[in-house]
Amino acid sequence: MYGRNMKAYRKTNLEAELSVASPHRVIQMLFEGLIERLAQAKGAIARGDLEYKSDRISKAVGIINGLQLSLDRTKNPELGERMYALYDFMKELLGKSSLSLDVGPIDEVVKLLLPIKQAWDKIPDDIKEQTNAEIMAKRS
């Protein structure tokens, strides 16, 4: 019962944060969620919990799909295409991990992902604000 209540609380908290989050913060949350799902998948593999492993890898792939969809490939098409391909590669690695029950490919995804997340986290506030304003103007 406690687990179900905690899950509902987390979901409500997440929905509340997303409703007021800037576009930059949403991407940060996707990175955070992806890293969490990857850690959970590794734990499930270690425990032999195949159902949970499949669920966590599926969720991770869904988050990567969201990151791909968020790419703006108009400003720097070459970078956008490279990032899109990198995300595709990450999904391939997760598929390999899921089939082989080897955490090595998950570790490789984390190794590829962390520098991207760290760079995203270091974006200066003035750039974030300008980009967020541009995104919100496009939505209007």
**Which domains, ranges and CATH numbers included, belong to the chain?**
22-122 (1.20.120.340)
> How confident is the model at residue 8, as a pLDDT?
52
The CA-based angle 28-31-35, given to 5 degrees, is: 140
Confidence class of residue 136 from pLDDT cuts 50, 70 and 90? Answer: confident
Least confident of 38-47, 69-78, 98-107: 69-78
Tell me the H-state helices in 21-103. 23-47, 50-70, 77-100
pLDDT tens track for 68-96: 999 989 989 999 999 999 999 999 999 99
The first and second tokens of residue 48, run together, are: 């032999």
Report the C-alpha gap between 127 and 70 in whole angstroms.
Answer: 17
Torsion sign (Cα): 127, 125, 23, 85: positive
The first and second tokens of residue 121, run together, are: 């986290």
Average pLDDT over residues 128-134: 83
How far is CA 42 from each of CA 91, 123, 138, rounded to the nearest angstrom? 15, 30, 39
Average pLDDT over residues 40-46: 98
> How confident is the model at residue 29, as a pLDDT?
96
